[in-house]
Chain A
């Protein structure tokens, strides 16, 4: 298993500003992902955070808006840039352990409100 922590747990931000969310895992993992979950909705995959290279973004998400860093195998950050109220959501970090089939572990999430 894996224990994942996220910082901050929640924040209220003004439009036009940026917020960086941190994700820390208690063990080295190869696969790390970022999801977004809007109120009452299912999870949407934003990107795969690749260690030592650029993140792989899903359709509808771009690096300029959601820059991601992955400096090592236990840590990643997601920045939500130039925020608007539509970015209000819960952002979740997730990891997949080596050899695990469809078994991902999720962080507690960061609840972002943009005013």
Chain B
């Protein structure tokens, strides 16, 4: 899996949009970008995956520029329940377990 770099922590007030950027300068042509969310006392859960441009689902949006060397996870109008650690992973290993980096600890404040 390609190495990723993301901020260690972020704070946000409720109702704001939060953007977490991940750098992956060595991304390979076949690699996909995947984000996981982990709430306290729970296992991580898959939230979104993309290859290029923009992907949106009911939880978040993922923006990927043309060079694919970075990506931005966007959480619209966060609430206290979005307080979690967010992990960015890059790769195309269909049968290989995920290797997690340090992630970004998001704290949402009332």
Chain A residues in the interface with B (C-beta under 8 A): 4, 30-31, 33, 42-45, 48, 92, 94, 96, 99-109, 111
Are A109 and B41 within 8 A (Cβ)? Answer: yes
Is chain A's binding surface mostly helix, strand, loop or mixed? strand
- Which partner residue on chain A sits nearest B51 by CB separation? A101
Of the listed residues B43, B92, B100, B103, the one surrounded by the most CB atoms of chain A closer than 10 A to its CB is: B43
Partner of B32, one of A4, A101, A108: A101
Are A94 and B103 within 8 A (Cβ)? Answer: no
Contact mask B21-32 → A, CB, 8 Å, 1/0? 000000000001
Are B100 and A100 within 8 A (Cβ)? Answer: no
Decide: A42 near B43, CB < 8 A? Known: A100-B94, A101-B32, A102-B89: no
| Cα A33 to Cα B94 with chains together (Å) | 14
- Which partner residue on chain B sits nearest A41 by CB separation? B102
| Cα A99 to Cα B95 with chains together (Å) | 8
| Cα A44 to Cα B95 with chains together (Å) | 17
Are B43 and A109 within 8 A (Cβ)? Answer: yes
Is chain B's binding surface mostly helix, strand, loop or mixed? loop
Partner of B43, one of A48, A101, A107: A107
Are B97 and A96 within 8 A (Cβ)? Answer: yes
Are B42 and A43 within 8 A (Cβ)? Answer: no
Instruction: Supply 8 further A-B pairs (C-beta < 8 A) apart from A92-B43, A94-B43, A102-B49.
Output: A30-B95, A31-B95, A42-B101, A45-B99, A102-B32, A102-B91, A105-B45, A106-B44
Decide: A42 near B103, CB < 8 A? Known: A102-B34, A108-B42: yes
Are B43 and A102 within 8 A (Cβ)? Answer: no
Specify which chain B residues have a CB less than 8 angstroms from the CB of A92 in the assembled complex. 43
Are B95 and A42 within 8 A (Cβ)? Answer: no
| Cα A101 to Cα B34 with chains together (Å) | 9
- Which partner residue on chain A sits nearest B42 by CB separation? A108
Are A103 and B46 within 8 A (Cβ)? Answer: yes
| Cα A92 to Cα B92 with chains together (Å) | 23
Cβ of B87 within 8 Å of any chain A Cβ, yes or no, is yes
Of the listed residues A101, A103, A108, the one surrounded by the most CB atoms of chain B closer than 10 A to its CB is: A101
